[in-house]
């Protein structure tokens, strides 16, 4: 004879809500800078085939912005996991 135990519809211990992610704004800006910079860099390379000066003026700032995003990854890796108030 098998015992049929129905699932408990109201568990006694509900999972707690996740705390807000620290440094979420910084991480968002890191990826915006990296992807935006790489997009501008590639756009500058493509534009440089028809107009060299315009291509360089788009590609160089795009590369600088992408490098800034990569530097922020390093900065984020050195920050503590929990920010101090």
Threshold 0.85, pTM exceeds = no
- Kindly report, residue by residue over 34-57, the tens digit of the pLDDT: 999 999 999 999 999 999 999 999
- Kindly report, residue by residue over 14-33, the tens digit of the pLDDT: 566 666 687 889 999 999 99
Question: Rounded CA gap, 46 and 30, in Å?
Answer: 24
The burial of 53, by beta-carbon neighbours within 10 Å (0-12 exposed, 13-18 middle, 19 or more buried), is given as: exposed
Question: Rounded CA gap, 16 and 31, in Å?
Answer: 29
Could you give the angle at the alpha carbon of 17 between the alpha carbons of 14 and 22, nearest 5°?
Answer: 155
């Amino acid at each position: 004879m098998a015992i049929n135990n129905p699932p408990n519809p109201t568990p006694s211990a509900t999972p707690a809500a996740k705390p807000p992610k620290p440094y979420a704004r910084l991480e968002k800006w890191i990826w915006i800078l990296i992807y935006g910079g790489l997009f501008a860099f590639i756009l500058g390379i493509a534009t440089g085939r028809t107009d060299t000066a315009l291509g360089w003026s788009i590609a160089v700032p795009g590369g600088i912005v992408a490098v800034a995003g990569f530097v922020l990854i390093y900065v984020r890796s050195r920050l503590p996991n929990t920010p101090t108030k």
